[in-house]
């Protein structure tokens, strides 16, 4: 089959583009090299909906961040992806230099058209946020900012795209793009072939490698890792805003933020790495996170850390997003160097990319069957006790708790394995349901999750993996 559009990379950018394209009478195919979606930067980042005061005016980042905030809140609501407008504080610690930077950021925010920004004193900020350090002297208050779960958003966007007819092919590592008379052939390392009229490169840290397949060498991705520590829910209400420090050339600095799931997140560092696949954490990185997070919020209790992780940004030397037609061939677009605020801007980036495709000749006729609302995967959690009781009587699997830390039940896990895009391994279930994300980090629930994956997919337990081939958990039966 000849698809209208093939998208390379199922992160939040490729996923949201697929979802926005599924509004039209188009055949769309999303190709992902990993065994699940949201496996790159969209899996491990801060999850902040940035207000838009930071990007330099006139850049694509400034435009798409400013447009993207409200677009993201609207689409996330349609997709039932958890999102919360908690606002953010950017803090100066008593030096004139930092306070002047905050004033510049305030001005920049005005130029970028960001609503309701204000500069408030340390005392005013501490009235709203009592755990804030006594050393905080001036704060940029950003009420339009928020928090979102990045992988849930990506899964929801791709699930909705699939429900509207988009084809997802995982384990499809693109290693060849050939221009043909009618369009393109896009081949995988395993020798599969997909044909398309238009190709969009959304391959994150590997977008320069995909560009090179059509002879485009005009940008190089510089991968920069960011390490985090996630704290238990007992620390989750330490602050209600996202607390930043004055940003530097290295990035937006170490933040302290609640998450939409009720944990506390601290990080990230910003370290250049040679290999984009390197998501290790280091003692030095985590020490830096603890030290700088404590500078903003001294009472954070780091004994309550439940996990640490790292994500890799795809940066480029000019510092802006690259969203442009390919040089080497017609009818291909690169959506590259989408580092922060890429998550915030994802819907705006998708819409901007569709505009470019239209200019290239893609015909976008509205599909009247498009349904932009995704079934709420958290519907059971949101019921009151009586409603839950009644629901469990009809669907007993919802009454069997699998993950005690996060109170995830069997019904929710079976749904995650059945619903688009289906969870195929233990980590896939974890990202969709939070089973294994609590204090014990899967120590108790993992065997139960494996049994459900085995039953649902009719696969022997020995073949169930944690995160793709080679991560089988059981050797053989004894
Ligand atoms: C540490 C960190 C903190 C961040 N914090 C924020 C924040 O708070 N707010 C915000 O707005 N943004 C933030 N960002 C930026 C945001 O995470 C990214 O902009 C966004 O996730 C980029 O999505 P993407 O789809 O372009 O890339 P990715 O999520 O990396 O997706 C690219 C996909 O392409 C696939 N792929 C690669 N090569 C191939 C191939 N050959 N064939 C098939 N598939 C391929 C990859 O496996 C991957 O799944 C942060 C990023 C990092 C790393």
Per-residue pLDDT of the chain in tens (478 residues, 90 and over written 9): 999 999 999 999 999 999 999 999 999 999 999 999 999 999 999 999 999 999 999 999 999 999 999 999 999 999 999 999 999 999 999 999 999 999 999 999 999 999 999 999 999 999 999 999 999 999 999 999 999 999 999 999 999 999 999 999 999 999 999 999 999 999 999 999 999 999 999 999 999 999 999 999 999 999 999 999 999 999 999 999 999 999 876 667 899 999 999 999 999 999 999 999 988 999 999 999 999 999 999 999 999 999 999 999 999 999 999 999 999 899 999 999 999 999 999 999 999 999 999 999 999 999 999 999 999 998 999 999 999 999 999 999 999 999 999 999 999 999 999 999 999 999 999 999 999 998 888 888 999 999 999 999 999 999 999 998 899 999 888 8
Beta strand spans in 246-353 (E): 255-258, 264-267, 271-272, 305-315, 322-325, 332-336
Closest C-alpha residue for ligand 1 atom 14: 340
> How many angstroms separate the Cα of 441 from the Cα of each of 326, 411, 438, 473?
43, 20, 5, 15
Is 50 a known active-site residue? yes
One DSSP character per residue, 84-97 reads: E---EEEEE-S-HH
User: Measured in whole angstroms, how far is the alpha carbon of residue 170 from the centre of its chain?
Assistant: 18
Structure tokens belonging to residue 409: 């039940």
Q: What is the pLDDT of residue 250?
A: 61
461 contacts 474 by C-beta, under 8 angstroms: yes
Q: 442 in ligand 1 pocket by Cβ < 6 Å? A: no
Q: 312 in ligand 1 pocket by Cβ < 6 Å? A: yes
350 contacts 14 by C-beta, under 8 angstroms: no
What's the half-sphere exposure (Cβ side, CA atoms, 13 Å) at 325? 13
Q: 68 in ligand 1 pocket by Cβ < 6 Å? A: no
Query: In angstroms, what is the span from residue 192 Cα to ligand 1's centroid?
Result: 24
Q: 342 in ligand 1 pocket by Cβ < 6 Å? A: yes
Distance CA 169, CA 83 (A): 28
Query: In angstroms, what is the span from residue 448 Cα to ligand 1's centroid?
Result: 31
- Which atom of ligand 1 lies at the shortest distance from residue 65's CA? 11
The CATH number assigned to the domain with range 2-42+151-221+318-360 reads 3.50.50.60
Query: In angstroms, what is the span from residue 346 Cα to ligand 1's centroid?
Result: 10
Q: Which residues contact 210 (CB under 8 A, 6 or more apart)?
A: 8, 9, 174, 177, 201, 203, 334
What SS3 class is residue 71? helix
Q: What is the pLDDT of residue 249?
A: 67
Q: 411 in ligand 1 pocket by Cβ < 6 Å? A: no
Q: To which CATH superfamily is domain 385-463 assigned?
A: BFD-like [2Fe-2S]-binding domain (1.10.10.1100)
Q: Of 402, 398, 437, 432, whose CA–CA distance to 417 is shortest? A: 432
Query: In angstroms, what is the span from residue 438 Cα to ligand 1's centroid?
Result: 24
Q: What is the pLDDT of residue 443?
A: 86
Partnered with residue 201 across adjacent β-strands are: 8, 334
Domain boundaries, the chain: 2-42+151-221+318-360, 88-143+222-314, 385-463
Q: What is the pLDDT of residue 122?
A: 98
42 contacts 181 by C-beta, under 8 angstroms: no
Query: In angstroms, what is the span from residue 157 Cα to ligand 1's centroid?
Result: 14
Q: 48 in ligand 1 pocket by Cβ < 6 Å? A: yes
Cis peptide before 421 (omega within 30 of 0): yes
Q: 46 in ligand 1 pocket by Cβ < 6 Å? A: yes
Structure tokens belonging to residue 377: 């995967």
- Which atom of ligand 1 lies at the shortest distance from residue 13's CA? 25
Closest C-alpha residue for ligand 1 atom 9: 48
Q: 321 in ligand 1 pocket by Cβ < 6 Å? A: no
Pairing mode, if any, of strands 28-31 and 167-169?
Answer: parallel
Closest C-alpha residue for ligand 1 atom 1: 226
Give the chain's end-to-end CA distance (angstroms, integer). Answer: 47
Topology of the domain covering 88-143+222-314:
D-Amino Acid Oxidase; Chain A, domain 2 (3.30.9)
Q: Which residues contact 117 (CB under 8 A, 6 or more apart)?
A: 51, 53, 106, 109, 110, 140, 141, 142, 143
Q: 173 in ligand 1 pocket by Cβ < 6 Å? A: yes
Query: In angstroms, what is the span from residue 461 Cα to ligand 1's centroid?
Result: 32
Q: 226 in ligand 1 pocket by Cβ < 6 Å? A: yes
Query: In angstroms, what is the span from residue 42 Cα to ligand 1's centroid?
Result: 4
Closest C-alpha residue for ligand 1 atom 48: 40
Burial readout 115-134 (b: 16 or more C-beta within 10 A, e: otherwise): eebebeebeebbeebebbbe
- Which atom of ligand 1 lies at the shortest distance from residue 336's CA? 26
* Catalytic residue (one of 50, 80, 241, 334): 50
């Amino acid at each position: 089959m000849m698809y209208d559009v093939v998208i390379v990379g199922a992160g939040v950018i490729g996923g949201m583009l697929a979802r926005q394209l599924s509004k039209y009478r188009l055949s769309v195919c999303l190709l992902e090299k990993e065994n699940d979606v949201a496996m790159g930067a969209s899996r491990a980042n801060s999850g902040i909906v940035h207000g838009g005061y930071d990007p330099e005016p006139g850049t694509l980042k400034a435009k798409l961040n400013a447009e993207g905030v409200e677009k993201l809140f609207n689409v996330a609501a349609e997709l039932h992806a958890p999102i919360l407008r908690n606002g953010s504080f950017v803090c100066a610690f008593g030096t004139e230099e930092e306070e002047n930077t905050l004033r510049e950021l305030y001005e920049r925010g005005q130029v970028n058209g960001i609503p309701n920004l204000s500069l408030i004193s340390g005392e005013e900020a501490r009235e709203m946020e009592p755990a804030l350090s006594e050393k905080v002297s001036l704060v940029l208050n950003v009420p339009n900012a928020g928090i979102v779960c990045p992988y849930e958003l990506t899964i929801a966007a791709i699930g909705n795209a699939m429900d509207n007819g988009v084809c997802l092919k995982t384990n499809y590592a693109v290693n060849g793009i050939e221009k043909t008379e009618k369009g393109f052939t896009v081949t995988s390392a395993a020798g599969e072939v997909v044909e398309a009229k238009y190709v969009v490169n959304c391959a994150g840290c590997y977008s320069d490698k995909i560009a090179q397949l059509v002879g485009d060498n005009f940008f190089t991705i510089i991968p920069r890792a960011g390490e985090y520590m996630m704290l238990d829910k007992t620390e989750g209400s330490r602050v209600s805003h996202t607390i930043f420090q004055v940003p530097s050339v290295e990035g937006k600095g170490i933040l302290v933020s609640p998450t939409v799931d009720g944990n506390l997140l601290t990080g990230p560092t910003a370290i250049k790495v040679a290999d984009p696949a390197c998501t290790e954490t280091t003692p030095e990185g985590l020490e830096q996170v603890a030290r700088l997070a404590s500078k903003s919020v001294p009472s954070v209790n780091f004994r309550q850390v439940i996990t640490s992780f790292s994500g890799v940004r795809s940066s480029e030397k000019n510092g802006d997003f690259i969203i442009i037609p390919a040089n080497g061939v017609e009818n291909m677009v690169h959506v590259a160097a989408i580092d922060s605020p890429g998550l915030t801007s994802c819907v705006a980036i998708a819409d901007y990319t569709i505009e470019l495709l239209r200019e290239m000749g893609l015909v976008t006729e509205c599909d009247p069957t498009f349904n932009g609302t995704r079934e709420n995967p958290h519907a059971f959690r949101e019921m009151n006790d009586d409603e839950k009781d009644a629901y469990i009587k009809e669907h007993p699997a919802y009454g069997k708790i699998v993950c005690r830390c996060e109170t995830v039940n069997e019904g929710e896990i079976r749904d995650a394995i059945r619903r688009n895009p289906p969870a195929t391994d233990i980590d896939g279930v974890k990202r969709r349901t939070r089973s294994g994300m609590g204090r014990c980090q899967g120590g108790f629930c993992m065997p139960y999750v494996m049994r459900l994956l085995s039953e649902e997919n009719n696969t022997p337990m020995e073949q169930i993996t944690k995160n793709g081939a080679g991560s089988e958990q059981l050797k053989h039966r004894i």
